[in-house]
Structure 1
Amino acid sequence: MNIGIVGLGLIGGSIGLDLRALGYQVFGVSRRNQTCQKAIALGAVDEASLELSLLSIADLIFICTPISIIIPTLEQLIPFISPSAILTDVGSVKKPIVEGVSQIWPNFVGGHPMAGKAESGIEVAQLGLFRDRPYVLTPTENTPLESVEKVEAIVSLLQSQVYFCNPYEHDRAVAWISHLPVMASASLISACMSETHPTVVKLAQELASSGFRDTSRVGGGNPELGRMMAQYNRLEVLRSLYSFREEINRFIEDIEQENWQIIEEKLSSTEQSRKLFLQE
């Protein structure tokens, strides 16, 4: 099986590294010739090009572009690929992508590897990036079963933990544990920068340590990715933000009313609840 990858950044490059290490022929396409050359030098692909026609021999193609150009990229691919080619993506929002693609290419399996780094680009691609990380597949009742099985087999080779759900369930779930944290973390950074006393701002910046680093990390990440989360998963992000705002308001009310025991009980509850979301 020949593997194609459109978008040779962190995710696309890491997929290429893993599959080439397993003996697959991997062909990559990027918008920049410099990225193509780096991908070849790093061993992420066997061949790379600026032209989508390179992927005419690919049996399975990963579209690893930003969410906003997944569907346009697929439309541009169609003239070059076999009718039997299987397409999948790695976008962090699934419902609008799966609905849009199903009208164009039925042999498509939505996908979302839940792995990454703060940095981006082919330079930080990593062998084993997906090991023991969730990789979600979102087929619908119209997705060919054989295509689902083939994509599952390939992503399992990445040593991922494969999960299946429908696109709507995916988007609602990731709004809570991925998209809301980005917005909440960004709000934390903005709130800190609203301090008007310059000495206090400087002192806070000098004293910031692991607590601030942990809670601010995703808010200081890729701005384009954060914007696309909000844009393409708008309703679910809003739903989670409304709920988050209500929880913040409850904390404000309890502090205003000096309900210290209630605050401690709430923090005791969240201490326990956090363990349900993390495999530690």
Structure 2
Amino acid sequence: MIIGIVGLGLIGGSLGLDWRAQGHQVLGVSRQTSTCQRAIERGAVDQASQDLGLLASADVIVLCPPIAQIFPVLQALTPHLSPQALVTDVGSVKTAIVLPCQDHWPRFIGGHPMAGTAEQGIEAAERGLFVGAPYVLTPTEQTLAADLDTLINLVNDLQAQVHICSPEAHDQAVAWISHLPVMVSASLIATCGQEADPQILALAQTLASSGFRDTSRVGGGNPELGLMMAQFNRTALLQSLTVYRQALDQVVQWLQQEDWAVLYQYLQRTQAERPPFL
């Protein structure tokens, strides 16, 4: 199969490495000539170019630019597409992407590989990145069963775990476990940074270790990605933040009332509820 990848960063490059290892021919497109050359050198693609026309022969095309660029890239790509071409994406938000993209190109299926590292760019691409990781596909009523089967087979080539759901269900689920944590973590960092006493702030920074590192990691990540999560999954994220704020208010109330028994029961419950998420 001939697979086209637009965007040769961590995700696009890693997809290329794995699919080429499975015997697929991979064609890549990037805005930077240097990225194209490096992707070829690293074995992520067979050919690479800045020209979307390179993908005219592709059977499946994966769009890996930032969320805000996915639909514009599809529009620019359309004149080069074979009528039989199947298009998917890797964006972490689905409803705002799938609906316009499928209206524009009916053979579009949303996708979201939930794997990655803190690094970016083609140099961060690695073999086996998706092994055992969730890979969500979000077909709609318009989706052809054969197209969905094609993507499922490609995801299976990655040894990822396929999950099928609607775009809307995906967005609410990731609001809880991905987008909400980014905003909570960012707020934690900002709150700690508001310590007015420079000596206490310096001491806190010195003492911070695994607990702070774990809870602040996603809030200290890529600001562009965090902003796009908020912009493109606004409704689901607002709902999640509202419920979270209510939970915090309840904890504040227990502290004010020194209701230690109820707080202890709450912490027991959260301890028991955590494992299924992991």
TM-score under structure 1 normalisation? 0.98
1:32 positional shift: 1.0
Residue 110 of structure 1 aligns to which amino acid in structure 2?
G
Local SS of the residue matching 2:8: coil
Deviations 1:40-89 (A, max 9, x none): 11111111111100111111000001110101100111111100000000
1:4 positional shift: 0.4
Local SS of the residue matching 2:104: coil
Identity of aligned residues (%): 57
1:139 positional shift: 0.3
Between the two proteins, the alignment pairs up a number of residues equal to 278
Where does structure 2 lack aligned partners over 5 or more consecutive residues?
A: none
Residue 153 of structure 1 aligns to which amino acid in structure 2?
N
Once residues 34 and 263 of structure 1 are traced to their aligned partners in structure 2, the CA distance between those partners, rounded to angstroms, is 56
Residue 250 of structure 2 aligns to which amino acid in structure 1?
R
2:53 corresponds to: 53
1:238 corresponds to: 238
1:211 corresponds to: 211
Residue 218 of structure 1 aligns to which amino acid in structure 2?
V
1:109 positional shift: 1.0
Deviations 1:116-156 (A, max 9, x none): 11121111111000000000000001111111110110011
| Counterpart check, 1:77 vs 2:71 | no
1:181 positional shift: 0.4
1:39 positional shift: 1.0
1:21 positional shift: 1.1
| Counterpart check, 1:190 vs 2:190 | yes
2:41 corresponds to: 41
Once residues 95 and 47 of structure 2 are traced to their aligned partners in structure 1, the CA distance between those partners, rounded to angstroms, is 32
2:93 corresponds to: 93
Local SS of the residue matching 2:191: helix
| Counterpart check, 1:24 vs 2:24 | yes
Once residues 235 and 264 of structure 1 are traced to their aligned partners in structure 2, the CA distance between those partners, rounded to angstroms, is 32
Local SS of the residue matching 2:118: coil
Q: What RMSD, in angstroms, separates the aligned Cα atoms of the two structures?
A: 0.7
Local SS of the residue matching 1:181: helix
Once residues 204 and 171 of structure 1 are traced to their aligned partners in structure 2, the CA distance between those partners, rounded to angstroms, is 36
TM-score under structure 2 normalisation? 0.99
Instruction: Give the 4+ runs in structure 1 shifted more than 3 A.
Output: none
Once residues 156 and 182 of structure 2 are traced to their aligned partners in structure 1, the CA distance between those partners, rounded to angstroms, is 28
1:277 corresponds to: 277
2:10 corresponds to: 10
Deviations 1:69-117 (A, max 9, x none): 1011001111111000000000011011111012110011110001111
1:146 corresponds to: 146
1:106 corresponds to: 106
Once residues 134 and 73 of structure 2 are traced to their aligned partners in structure 1, the CA distance between those partners, rounded to angstroms, is 25
Once residues 24 and 276 of structure 1 are traced to their aligned partners in structure 2, the CA distance between those partners, rounded to angstroms, is 36
Residue 132 of structure 1 aligns to which amino acid in structure 2?
G
Once residues 174 and 67 of structure 1 are traced to their aligned partners in structure 2, the CA distance between those partners, rounded to angstroms, is 15
Once residues 129 and 135 of structure 1 are traced to their aligned partners in structure 2, the CA distance between those partners, rounded to angstroms, is 12
Local SS of the residue matching 2:140: coil
Residue 96 of structure 2 aligns to which amino acid in structure 1?
P
Residue 98 of structure 2 aligns to which amino acid in structure 1?
V
Once residues 268 and 39 of structure 1 are traced to their aligned partners in structure 2, the CA distance between those partners, rounded to angstroms, is 49
Residue 80 of structure 1 aligns to which amino acid in structure 2?
H
2:127 corresponds to: 127
Residue 261 of structure 2 aligns to which amino acid in structure 1?
Q
Where does structure 1 lack aligned partners over 5 or more consecutive residues?
A: none
Once residues 192 and 29 of structure 1 are traced to their aligned partners in structure 2, the CA distance between those partners, rounded to angstroms, is 42
Once residues 201 and 6 of structure 1 are traced to their aligned partners in structure 2, the CA distance between those partners, rounded to angstroms, is 44
Local SS of the residue matching 1:126: coil
| Counterpart check, 1:265 vs 2:265 | yes
1:33 positional shift: 1.1
Once residues 254 and 8 of structure 2 are traced to their aligned partners in structure 1, the CA distance between those partners, rounded to angstroms, is 49
Residue 124 of structure 2 aligns to which amino acid in structure 1?
V
Residue 229 of structure 1 aligns to which amino acid in structure 2?
M
- Decide whether the 8 Å contact of 2:102 with 2:109 is kept in 1: no
